[in-house]
Structure formats: C-alpha cells, structure tokens
Structure 1
Amino acid sequence: MSDSDSRTLVILKEKGSTARLLNLLRFYMRPEGAPEGPPIFRNRLLRRAIVTKHCVAANDRSFADGRRHATKIILPLNAEDLRLGGRYFLLGQDNYAEVRRELWGDAHEDRSHDEEILGLLEGAPSLDPFLLREVFQRSQVRIDPAFLDLSENDQMEMFNFARSELSALAVALFGDAAADTDMQNKLVRKLLFNDETGQIEPLRLALKLDENNYAEGMFAWKGFLYFKWRYSKLVEEAPDVARGLQQVYATGNLDPEEKSAIRETRDNVSRRLAELTAAIPPFLSAYDNALSQLTEGGDASAFRDFLLDSPRIFLALGERMGVLDHIISVWSFMFPAGKKPMMPGSDLMELLAEFETLLTRFKYATPRSIQPVEDPAQPRAATG
C-alpha cells in the first residue's frame, strides 16, 4: 500500500467518509460499538473495510482491459494504528478469483450477498451516503441505516432545499392547493425519503412513463437534487480551498527542484479545481431547464426525455461531484479555517499529486446548451 493510502487511512480515522471514500471501520472504533442492525457486509474483514473510488494509473497492471477507474477495498492491518496501512484489492482485478477464495472460502451464501454489495458500490457514481441508501433500497438490500448516516442537520437542510426546488412542481401537479406547505412537505417526503419507489402517480401518468423507466428516472432525479444541494454547499467552501492552495507552506529542508515541483503541481491543481467547479453547473442547468419546461410551460415531454436520458447524465455528474466533494472535504479537514496551511514538503507533494491525478480524470470543454449530457471522458456510442 502506498504512503498516500496510509495517510488517507489516518485522515479517515478521524473524519469519516467523503464522496469517494466510505469508511466502515469507524463504526467499529466507536465506544458504543457498531450499529446493531444488519451490517453492509457479512464477511468479518469487509465489515471493517474502507472503500474508495480509485483512479487507475497508466502503468497499473491490475486490469487487462485498461480501465481508468476502479473500486478499491482497503483492509487495515491494525485498526488502532492506521499508519501501518493495510491490504487492498480492486474489484475485478486480474486475480480476483484468488481474492474471493481468500476472503470467503466456501461460504457461498455470505459471498453471494457481499459480492452483490460490492457490485452495487462499484456501479454507484459516488459513495455519498444519501445516494448509497438509494442504491441499496432499489436493490432491496436491508442494512441498518446508521451505517449510511446523514446527519439530522444535513437531512433538514436538504429537505428545505428540495421543498424550495419543487414548490412550482407541486402547484403544476396538484393546482393552487399545493401552495399549502403541508402539501409541499408531503411531495418532498414522497420523492426523497419514501422507502418504496417514491412513485407519485399523477407525475408518472403526466410523463407517460412505465414503472421501470419511472423508477430509474426517480433515482436519478433524487441524485440531481442531492448533487445540487451539495454543490450549493461546496461552492461556499471552494474559495477558502483555492486561497489555501496558494498559501500552503511546505516545511522541512527542500532543494530548489522539490520547491519548483510543489509550485507547479499546486498551480496545476488550483487551475483544474477551478475548471471542475465551473464544469458542474451546466449539468445542473440541463436538469433545471427540463424541469422548468414542465412547471412553467406545461411541456411534460421535455422532462420525460430528460428523465429517460438522466441515468447517463447522472453518472457523468456523479463522477465530477465525487472528485470535487472529496478534494474540498479532505483539504478543509486537514486545514480548518483560521489555521495556516502547512505540512512537510514530502507529504504535501503526495497530497497535491493525489489531487492532480483525480482532476486529470476529466477533459473540459465549454458546453453548449444541453451538451454536458455527453461525458467528454466517455463518448456516447453513435446510433444509426
């Protein structure tokens, strides 16, 4: 395991999770112990794992298919001292059959359950707890919700945000009576927090969607609302991170070449982080435009078309939001407001290089209208 992985483990011991990191170990390190309900994994080692969305290096020979990103499962060697690092494997790596035998042996029932979970984590665009809860619910996987805890404050903030976003939709669906706060609250609870599919029959009929397409569209719709709320929070923190990147001080004895490398990497991270921050709003605007055509123009077909295409847009947006959320969350944790950003030069270079690797995942272009639907990193296949 690399030094950067070990550093990440130490950070997570205190911080918890980010959009690219799901820390299950922390639940077993609490004085009160882990939640009593069904855990995410049945395997003893996996229950205490740290899951990450991992950028595959160009020279990484773990995959024959040359994929660019993967899901990494880290199994810490010592929960009491995470600086010691741990073992890890990548889902689908070339010797994955050996990993399966080592973890589960002949426990086929447990392996079947855990591999289903691993598949769901690999397919999720982000490890945000809200989105993972939706992923598990759609697949009818029962876990103790405490393992995917969204703080009460965050839940309330998101609820209020969604209510404001959907007030015009409530009126469009149910008439002027929906201006009543209770009606709006009911609609938001139905859409965001219902344990079932969240089906709102008048909306499904207006959009002329069958139940399967409706369920897929609702999942992505919840994701768009969540990402829009998260983005509104992140852009408030982004200026502090940008300033911190320019002010960060590398301690220790560094030669001129090392200082130059840190400056160059820092400037590259700053530029690409600004590009990423600016690249996300057009994705959200595509959603806003489609919804406004329904609520203001009464054009259900535009929003229907958006929902049918939304899973593809949602995946592209989710990857970008995951990187932005992760970088801002980790930086803000390591260098709280009011604290001068400084760290040993070697550690700073590793941190900046990690950020740079994440940010170079995407190629940016100025989108036109609804062009962000196309993921520049994964061009859509042409249809005849």
Structure 2
Amino acid sequence: MTDRTIRNLAHLQRSASTARVLNLLQVWTANGPAEDGAPRDPAWAERPLFRTPALNRALIIKHRLRRDELDLFPGRRHVATKVVIPIDASDLKAGGRFVFVNQYTFDRSMAETFGIASEHPDMAALRLIDALPSLDPFLLREQLRRGGYDPAGCYFSISDADLGRMFVFVQRELEPLVTLSIGPDTDAVNVGLAGRLAEKILSNTSGEQLDALRETLRLPPEQYEEGVFCWKGFLYYKWMLASLLGQVATVADQVLTVKPGG
C-alpha cells in the first residue's frame, strides 16, 4: 500500500523519535554513512535494529486505526504498528509505501517487498515492537532485550523536544545532589552546576563528558552507560508523571461536565 499523507510524513522529516514514532530515517541520517562511506557511529552499523537496510531506514508508527482499517486484522484492535518505507528518503513529501505489522497479508507483503521470510529476525523484532503500547525509548529497549535483541544506543535517543521540556525538571531534581556534594552555601553556583549536569545526563551522545563521574563511581564504561541510561529513564518517567498529574484536575473537571447526547 502507498501512503501519501504528505503533511504527516513531511512533518517527520527532521523530527527525532517519540512515543508514537520511531524515526529510523533520522537515526540513519545522524549515525549512518558519512561522505567517506564510513558510519558516523560505528555501533549503528555493528548493532543495527534491523538487518534489512530498507527497514533500518523506515518510519515505525503507532497508528490509531480508522474504521475502514479494522478489518485488516484477525483480531479486534484500535492501534497498530505501521511500517512506512519512504519513496524518496530525501523528500518525505513524496509519500511512502506501508504495511501494518500482523495484518492479514503481513508475511506475504514482507516477503514480496524485502525478500524476508516469516522466521527472519527482523520479523520477530517487528512483532516485539507491535506488542508494545508505545515506542518510548526505554520501553522499546527493554522489550527488544527481552526478545534477545541488543541494538546500538543511537536507536533509543529521547527527542530534542522532550529533552528541552525535561531540562528544568531534571535540573531541579539534581540540585539536592549537587548541594549535598559541595555544600549549601553556594545556591547560585549549585543551580549552575545542576544545569550543567542535567545537560550532560540528558545528552543523546554518550562519551567523555561524564568520565569524571564514572571514575568517581569506579564503574567500567559498560556499567556506567547502563547506569546513566537507567537514571535517564527514571527521570524521564518521573517527569512524565509530573506532567500528567498536572492535567488530571482539568480532565476530571471536564468529565464532570460531559453531557451525553443522541
């Protein structure tokens, strides 16, 4: 099938992944082959999410099904995982070809389009992703790991938009830690240091920025990166909870004023 929802696809041209969209095209652009042909991030090539190159540059979308799409599936469901292969990777306005994971013709469509059989590892990975309620990076990584997949960290970055919204929250969360470390008499300095630490923790690029902290904790690089990822995940969900709780009262008030009609 061909998807020419131009406005929606074009909107994803430069956006990073979100809880609803896994933008592997953007991951490929940021981490894939440079002008000299070598990958910008070697881990992207060494530990790809999908072995099939076209799939590893796809857009994976959690799609709310329309009424005319419900009959495409053997069971009743409201949300499906949509795999979109852009017609022109440099211009998403051209639209793309798509298939829903686990629709009736899924296996046949994947075999005809990509030449992969139902037992191919990429098919299993897609089904693992389809079982998730959302594509947020922490759920996605743990689901894939439980299924025996260990893609590179570049596939699980938080979007720049979410990072921007998280920053103030994370800075406040880190201020007590900084104060405990250097003392309470320099509040202005502590705020600045907490901000710098927040920037480094929330950065989508791991590396030498926090090596001093790693050395202080006496952790090997692998354990340290895992710890920072989990720390980031904890802060991410705590921020999400705070954001949602702020909307609960408004939603509750609106529910009380709803008047059924018809």
Task: State the TM-score bracket (shorter-chain normalisation).
Answer: 0.5 to 0.7
Q: 1:279–1:105: structure 2 CA closer, same or farther, 3 Å change rule? A: farther
Match of 1:102 among 112, 117, 121: 112
Partner amino acid, structure 1, of 2:137: P
Structure 1 unmatched ranges of 5 or more: 166-181, 199-221, 237-276, 283-363, 367-384
TM-score normalized by the length of structure 1 = 0.42
Superposed displacement of residue 72, structure 1 = 0.5
Structure 1 position 17 matched with structure 2 position 27: no
Structure 1 position 35 matched with structure 2 position 41: yes
- State the distance in 2 between where 1:101 and 1:11 align: 29
Match of 1:150 among 151, 158, 161: 158
Give the length in aligned residue pairs: 199
Superposed displacement of residue 112, structure 1 = 2.7
Partners of 2:24 and 2:57 within 8 A in 1 = yes
Match of 1:278 among 224, 229, 248: 248
Q: 1:97–1:281: structure 2 CA closer, same or farther, 3 Å change rule? A: same
- State the distance in 2 between where 1:22 and 1:127 align: 7
Q: 1:131–1:66: structure 2 CA closer, same or farther, 3 Å change rule? A: closer
Partners of 2:64 and 2:78 within 8 A in 1 = yes
What is the aligned partner in structure 2 of residue 52 from structure 1? 61
Partner amino acid, structure 2, of 1:147: Y
CA displacement, residues 51-101 of structure 1 (integer Å, 9 cap, x when unaligned): 111111122231242321111110111111111101100111111121231
Partner amino acid, structure 1, of 2:248: A
Match of 1:67 among 77, 83, 91: 77
CA displacement, residues 278-300 of structure 1 (integer Å, 9 cap, x when unaligned): 28999xxxxxxxxxxxxxxxxxx
Superposed displacement of residue 2, structure 1 = 4.9
- State the distance in 2 between where 1:149 and 1:137 align: 16
Structure 2 unmatched ranges of 5 or more: 177-212, 218-222, 257-262
Match of 1:92 among 93, 102, 112: 102
- State the distance in 2 between where 1:34 and 1:89 align: 30
Partners of 1:43 and 1:103 within 8 A in 2 = no
Partner amino acid, structure 2, of 1:101: A
Q: 1:10–1:137: structure 2 CA closer, same or farther, 3 Å change rule? A: same
Partner amino acid, structure 2, of 1:229: W
Q: 1:225–1:135: structure 2 CA closer, same or farther, 3 Å change rule? A: farther
- State the distance in 2 between where 1:75 and 1:50 align: 7
Structure showing the higher helix proportion among its residues: 1
TM-score normalized by the length of structure 2 = 0.59
- State the distance in 1 between where 2:147 and 2:250 align: 28
CA displacement, residues 96-153 of structure 1 (integer Å, 9 cap, x when unaligned): 1212312443567xx5321221122112222112322232333342211012123799
SS of equivalent residue, structure 1 residue 72 = strand
Partners of 2:84 and 2:98 within 8 A in 1 = yes
Partners of 1:27 and 1:35 within 8 A in 2 = no
Superposed displacement of residue 41, structure 1 = 0.4
Q: 1:11–1:68: structure 2 CA closer, same or farther, 3 Å change rule? A: same
Partners of 1:40 and 1:143 within 8 A in 2 = yes
- State the distance in 1 between where 2:131 and 2:250 align: 21
